[in-house]
Structure 1
Amino acid sequence: MRRGKSPWILVFLIVVGLILGGFLGDLLAHFFKQLAYQQIIGMNHPLTLDLNFIRFSFMLSFKINVGSVLGLILAIYAYYKM
């Protein structure tokens, strides 16, 4: 039997930390102006593959704010304290 923590727990905690941190950062930005700073990273226009009978479009972008960074740090800290 394998000992230790599963890396899937870390992935789950990171995703939850980013979502909750981003939500709280947007929610509390009205009270704390420092939390309103955000950066959008990603593609401006979608990548399209047209095969004549089907068309695929792909676009990926991330909106990162101070709250999501704090959520990420807390998620990693919680993983290593488990």
Structure 2
Amino acid sequence: MRKSPWVLVMFLVIGGLLGGVLGEILRVMAPQGTIQTIFSTNFTPGISPPLTIDLILVKLTLGFSLKISLLSLLGMFVGVYLYKNV
């Protein structure tokens, strides 16, 4: 049975979102210390500040940002694992 690449993308996105939510909960609920520091550290690649193109008639603003943490990466790996084994 051939699996669609869109299903893989869906598993990656859902795994990343659930990992990110879990990371935010852990950041708030965990006591100060090493565990909170490890799991609350994130990497934010993207376009900052957003690119703005002003064409007098139309003004376009383009930009994006990703907030990647250890738990969101772990959630993505779990999503790939579930995709391969389901």
Question: TM-score normalized by structure 1?
Answer: 0.89
Q: Which residue of structure 1 lines up, in the alignment, with residue 18 of structure 2?
A: 20
Matches for 1:1-82 after TM superposition, within 5 Å: 3-29=1-27, 30-31=29-30, 32-33=35-36, 34-82=38-86
Q: Which has the higher strand share?
A: 1
TM-superposed CA distance for 1:66, in Å, is 1.0
Q: What is the letter of the counterpart of residue 70 of structure 2?
A: V
Q: 3-state SS of the aligned residue for 1:42?
A: coil
TM-superposed CA distance for 1:50, in Å, is 1.4
Gaps of 5+ in 1: none
Q: What is the letter of the counterpart of residue 73 of structure 1?
A: F
The alignment-based identity, stated in percent, is 35
Q: 3-state SS of the aligned residue for 2:48?
A: coil
Q: Which has the higher helix share?
A: 2
Gaps of 5+ in 2: none
Give CA deviations for 1:4-32 in whole Å, capped at 9, x if unaligned.
11111001111111111101111112324
User: Please, what is the CA RMSD of the aligned residues?
Assistant: 1.1
Q: 3-state SS of the aligned residue for 1:41?
A: coil
